[in-house]
Amino acid sequence: MPDISYLILLIVSRETIFLQSTTFPTSHPPVFPMFSHNNIHKLIESIHNRPEQIVLATTGVGTLAQAWLYGVAGASQTMLESTVPYAKQALSEFIGQIPNKFVSPITARLMAAQAYQRAVHLREEETIDVIGVACTGAIATNWEKKGEHHAYITLWQKDRVTTYHLSLAKGKRSREEEEEVVSQFLLEALAKALGVIAEIKVATRDRVTTEVVKWGDAIQAVLQKERSFVGIYADGRAKHQGINPELLFCGSFNPFHQGHQQLAQIASEMMGKPVAFEISAFNVDKPPLTVEVLQARLAQFAGKSPLYITSAPTFIEKCRLLPNTTFIIGYDTAVRIIAPRYYNNSTPDMMAALNEIRSLNGHFLVAGRVDKQGVFQDAEALQVPSDLQDLFTPIPASKFRVDLSSTEIRNQKAEQ
């Protein structure tokens, strides 16, 4: 008998649908039921009735969940985009790095982070809550696998990241059956994140472990000064102690833009160290930032770079909190650091503070900046007292110069 062609869904977005025709022998047609039972259909209806929207990325397993979600009326309410970065290069490009393991909790979290970034970009209004959903796994195929059959499912939300590890009973199901089990688990995990269901159903022969990191609680602890800082990795893990960046870019990052990214890259190349970022929840001249604002700022770094949220508004406090650190700053900030008027108009107080920073092995890497009058201030022209010059290293304008400021970006966005 002749072969029969089936259409496999690869990528779906609101703007584009890509389909690829794949041929299977008629003796072994794929068995992918649209819905194995009515409960899945009802579950998806409940998901679509929620106001949240999602971007879904799957690789290796979980793709059936995409077809199920699009197969129920109301998908446009929920689905912003879905993607299947299946090849090694495709997955590496999607998460922005070559993973140590393609099936791992870190890879799942990085996938979910990129999905979340994409969802933030695609949503029509900033008030709409979004979720980045990801699944990576290894299940039965046409050759016997030595390793376990399992999947990692991660959901990235504005205040937390949740990762499930579903370990399947090996040799008990066909590939099609394992695909269906993982896809149903993914939908139930999404439904739980949305508050549609309270618990996820798992067969007794399978095992599930869960890891949850709640940034909202961690940030609140910093705001209440119960914690001095929280360091949040690019993949969403968080730590309150035992970490100390060597190169730290401090700022408000409202928004985090291309100029910041270029400066971070140049600084990393100059110092030969990776860059982390820092936002202080407190400011000398302004009210503290709110949990909601800090969560929004944090979202900009999801899947990209580590971010420290601290309770330290001044550099002497930052240095006490994070010694042995080089701080990346702009020309305007450097001017304030060496101005006695910021130390009760006392030169001895200024020198005492900067000498303490020196004793804590602190250092400043200074970039040029455009001032309020639109004039570029070259970091090499900074007038540093001779006994403080070892604390400051200028970045030449020939290496870095960006004339666009965060304020200009915010103004341009407001005018749109």
DSSP 205-262: TSEEEEEEEEHHHHHHHHHTTSSSEEEE-TTS-EESSS---SEEEES--TT--HHHHH
Domain range list for the chain? 4-205, 215-415
Mean pLDDT of 137-145: 85
Single pTM value for the model: 0.86
Q: What is the pLDDT of residues 309-322, one digit of tens each?
A: 999 999 999 999 99
Residue 350: what are its φ and ψ, rounded to 5°? -65, -45
- Report residue 79 as tokens: 């689905």
Per-residue confidence band for 21, with pLDDT thresholds at 50, 70 and 90: very low
Per-residue confidence band for 402, with pLDDT thresholds at 50, 70 and 90: confident
Residue 217's CB is within 10 A of a number of other CB atoms, namely 13
Question: What CA–CA distance (Å, rounded) separates 149 from 185?
Answer: 14
pLDDT score of 369? 87
215-415 has the same fold as 4-205: no
Q: Pairing mode, if any, of strands 363-367 and 392-394? A: parallel
Mean pLDDT score across all residues of the chain? 88
Task: For residue 209, list its beta bridge partners.
Answer: 165
pLDDT score of 141? 85
Q: Using CA atoms of 107, 113, 118, 122 in order, give the dihedral in degrees to the nearest 10.
A: 140
Q: What percent of the chain has pLDDT over 90?
A: 78
Q: Taking 70 as the threshold, does the pLDDT of residue 207 lie above it? A: yes
Supply the CATH classification number for the domain 4-205.
Answer: 3.90.950.20
Containing H/E element for 215? Answer: helix 215-223
Q: Taking 50 as the threshold, does the pLDDT of residue 200 lie above it? A: yes
Mean pLDDT of 291-315: 95
Mean pLDDT of 196-221: 94
Q: Does domain 215-415 have CATH number 1.10.3290?
A: no
Per-residue confidence band for 394, with pLDDT thresholds at 50, 70 and 90: very high
Q: How many CA atoms lie within 13 A of 410 on its CB side?
A: 8
Diameter over CA atoms, the chain? 92
Q: What is the pLDDT of residues 223-264, one digit of tens each?
A: 999 999 999 999 999 999 889 999 999 999 999 989 999 999
Count, in order, helices (H) and strands (E) of the chain.
13, 18
pLDDT score of 176? 93
Question: What CA–CA distance (Å, rounded) separates 320 from 147?
Answer: 47
